[in-house]
Amino acid sequence: MIIGIIGSGAMGAGIAQVVATAGHTVRLLDQDAEALQRAGTAIQASLHKLAEKGKLTSATAEAIFANLHFTQAVADFADCELVLEAIVEDLAVKQQLFREVELIVSANCTLASNTSSLSIASIAAACQRPGRFIGIHFFNPAPIMQLVEVIPAVQTRAGLAEEVRDLVQGWGKLPVLTKDTPGFIVNRVARPFYGEAIRILEEGIADMATIDWAVTELGGFRMGPFALMDFIGHDVNYRVTESVFASFFYDPRFKPSFTQKRLFEAGYYGRKSGRGFYDYAAGAVLPEPSRDEILGRAVLHRVVAMLINEAVDALALNVASKEDLELAMTKGVNYPKGLLAWADEWGPANVLTTLDDLYNEYREDRYRASPLLRRVVRNNQYFLQHEPATSQQ
């Protein structure tokens, strides 16, 4: 199969490596010749590293690299069966790109976007044949992260999502199917990991070192929310939060925080700028957590209850299947457990009580429990342990 990839930045280069490794011929296009050159160097370095670690032979690494063809001309895409874009996150620019691509490719070439925050329907709308359009959303770095969200738009022809899912699986990835709703699965369900942690900090319930400690040491997450936001960068993380909030018609559940906005405005982006929530300057001393276990458990319960509620609500609205929701959160963001499994383990009634207590205390919509959680508790059910949790209402 011949695959065209447009945009050779962080994502495009990574995706090109994945696809070339799977044995496809890849045409990698960028408008910027230097970006193409950088991508070639980065892919070569990455393959070289894998060969050094013994994961590939040098001959295989060379063969993979030989599958890649670098170009600046859309005309070279005439023989592509799939064209996937990973260019700048701008709807008008993406739409214009696909108008040009459609003039070149054959009628049965599939078109795809790696967008994180735009709707697939809005990009597909620019196409002459929107039925062939779909979202294929990788995570960064694409060669390492296993999860790929496959997102059919309202225009996507029946059957294409399943074909793309099988194709992506053949690339050695774990595809999940999700609806074309803001944030898809991962960027929607993960919002409270950041938002609720910041809220707990803002109220002075616990300091950030203690919150990070509670979530990692007591909760088993790989990184605490503050360390993770500093790692991702507040420019990126704040923008995603803002975009998800706006895309949900300003549902207060997704409201960004002033605390993070101020860091963003100040240019305190996190590790990359030397300062975020924490100070990364040479010689700076990181704050110590209180290690108060009772406080830590209260913090953890609040954050996890909010995450579970988001996952349950995504299930209630058929954003994805139970299996795909669990896969997305364990493989996409490395959560220690799937959130539905966590709900079952903790007991859906306990999760609901935690949320209802918060709601009664604050009277804010962000703490409203999903109707599905309430129904599962009312019917004495579980999400995964006793199938089906949703059919007996």
Ligand X SMILES: NC(=O)c1ccc[n+]([C@@H]2O[C@H](COP(=O)([O-])OP(=O)(O)OC[C@H]3O[C@@H](n4cnc5c(N)ncnc54)[C@H](O)[C@@H]3O)[C@@H](O)[C@H]2O)c1
**Residues in the site for ligand X, rule: CB under 6 A?**
6-12, 30-32, 35, 86-89, 93, 97, 114-116, 138, 140
Smallest distance from ligand X to CB 39, Å: 8
Q: Hunting for tokens 């030989």 — which residue is that? A: 66
Active site residue 140: no
- Enter the tokens of residue 86: 């990973």
User: What's the rounded Cα separation, in Å, for the pair 225 and 303?
Assistant: 10
Active site residue 234: no
H/E element, 39: helix 33-52
Smallest distance from ligand X to CB 191, Å: 16
Smallest distance from ligand X to CB 356, Å: 35
Smallest distance from ligand X to CB 6, Å: 5
Per annotation, catalytic residue among 8, 46, 114, 116: 116
Cα→Cα distances 15→5, 11, 18, 27, 167, Å: 8, 6, 5, 12, 13
- Enter the tokens of residue 289: 């957590």
Phi and psi (nearest 5°) for 275?
A: -155, 135
Residue 31 or 379 having the CB closest to ligand X: 31
Residue 121 or 205 having the CB closest to ligand X: 121
Residue 184 or 383 having the CB closest to ligand X: 184
Residue 31 or 353 having the CB closest to ligand X: 31
Residue 9 or 287 having the CB closest to ligand X: 9
Phi and psi (nearest 5°) for 151?
A: -125, 100
Do the beta carbons of residue 333 and residue 202 sit within 8 Å? Answer: no
User: What's the rounded Cα separation, in Å, for the pair 13 and 10?
Assistant: 6
Cis peptide bond prior to 141, omega within 30° of 0: yes
Per annotation, catalytic residue among 24, 46, 102, 149: 149
Q: Tell me the three state secondary structure of residue 248.
A: coil
Active site residue 379: no
Active site residue 116: yes
User: What's the rounded Cα separation, in Å, for the pair 201 and 302?
Assistant: 12
Smallest distance from ligand X to CB 224, Å: 20
- What amino acid is encoded at 335 in this protein? Y
Smallest distance from ligand X to CB 89, Å: 4
- Enter the tokens of residue 147: 């999860």
Per annotation, catalytic residue among 24, 137, 234, 301: 137
Per annotation, catalytic residue among 8, 46, 113, 187: 187
> Smallest Cα–Cα separation from 300: which of 369, 206, 197, 215?
215
Residue 32 or 202 having the CB closest to ligand X: 32
Residue in the shown chain whose Cβ atom is closest to ligand X: 9
What are the catalytic residues? 116, 137, 149, 187
